[in-house]
Chain A
Amino acid sequence: MSTVLILGAGSDMAVAIARKYAREKYNVQLAARKLEYLVPLQQDLQIRYGITATVHAFDALDTASHAAFYASLPVKPDQVICVFGYLGNQETAQDDWEEAQRIIATNYTGAVSILNIVANDYAARKSGTIVGISSVAGVRGRQSNYMYGSAKAGFTAYLAGLRNRLYHDGVHVLSVQPGFVATRMTEHLALPPLLTATPEQVANAVFSAAAAKKNVIYVKWFWRYIMLLIRNIPEGMFKKMKM
């Protein structure tokens, strides 16, 4: 039986991903800061799908602990999915370095720190799959969320580089750029229904894309074209837009 490690397992998207993998008979390792958030999900996965689920304390911001965290896993996972992220508050982050730093550290440096460790292990073992949940916000900086966007842009570039490097070791890296996803994190936003995916749709897309060794996916297909469009707006025009 294969094992998947889910980093940031407390979120709605992570719950859907965990259930999808468990339904496909993966054992699941759930990692997040608050263990008490994970215990109900652990029971749920075991009862519903008859697999083994374990819980592990993991703090993306505490990079010094990452090596020990990875070493302590009871078995090395066949797949690692990096789901954690922090949207933060753009305006606060403009004035408050604490907030800006938290956005950068959660979405970029924290992710890089743990995935470096996983990558080296997988490279040595010549197997494994790494999935990173990045964001379309990373495609182009916009005034409304460029703190988050720039950190995700860094993460997207990191995943691309990692894919290039690990390809030669037989290790696969999948970048996921979900567009809008209806979760608790976005429930206060008025998202256009047609463009918004459910966490379950993200989970299904991640599972099949990882199995098919896809490189980059956007859960709902038209996001690829929206991003193509956004990428191609001349900067002179883009900077004048309010978005």
Chain B
Amino acid sequence: MIRPFGPNEVLFILTAIQWTLALSAIAFAGGAVGGLLTALARVSANRILSGLALGFIRVFQGTPLLMQLFLVFFGLNIFGYGVNPWVAASLALTLHASAFLGEIWRGCIQAVPQGQSEAAHALGLSYFDRMKSIVLPQAARIAVAPTVGFLVQLIKGTSLASIIGFVELTRAGQIVNNATFDPFKVFGLVALLYFVLCWPLSILAGRMERRFAAASQR
């Protein structure tokens, strides 16, 4: 039976935004932890550690997010952890975000002049204190704009979780479309909602980038 595209359908799609946001938040939080570890491993003097981090980044930046989702989804299943789209989507997106944030933040850490770290070393600060008080605070300022930019990519990326059956914004749209056969309105609305989520972040990232560029030119 074909239903008309009415208020109930709109409401169903609107409420699905919370799952897109929840998944984005989980992936970003997990990716922040993983990304920091990856970035630190990547800049460390330990060859094995930095090599492993490089391999991790290359694999996740060189393969489609869709395949990463599939591998985690079916991989969890064969190792006996069931097929739970929540767990699979969160884990896959966290790994994905860790690799990308790791590479972004590596660049930011390396943009902090070497002399800063050397001076801290000369003052007798330990590795932990050097990173915590000298290098990372300076790197964080450089990192804000590209990190916000990546957040847009991550929110868009959560749409792929719909393919493994996670009901977020895109999957909600598909469900409504299957019931109403009104793809123009349904996918138009879904696209608009993603746009409303992502556009302010894009503008913010662009502004911060320009402000930072102007500040570092002085």
A, B: real partners: no
Q: Which positions in A face B, CB cutoff 8 Å?
A: none
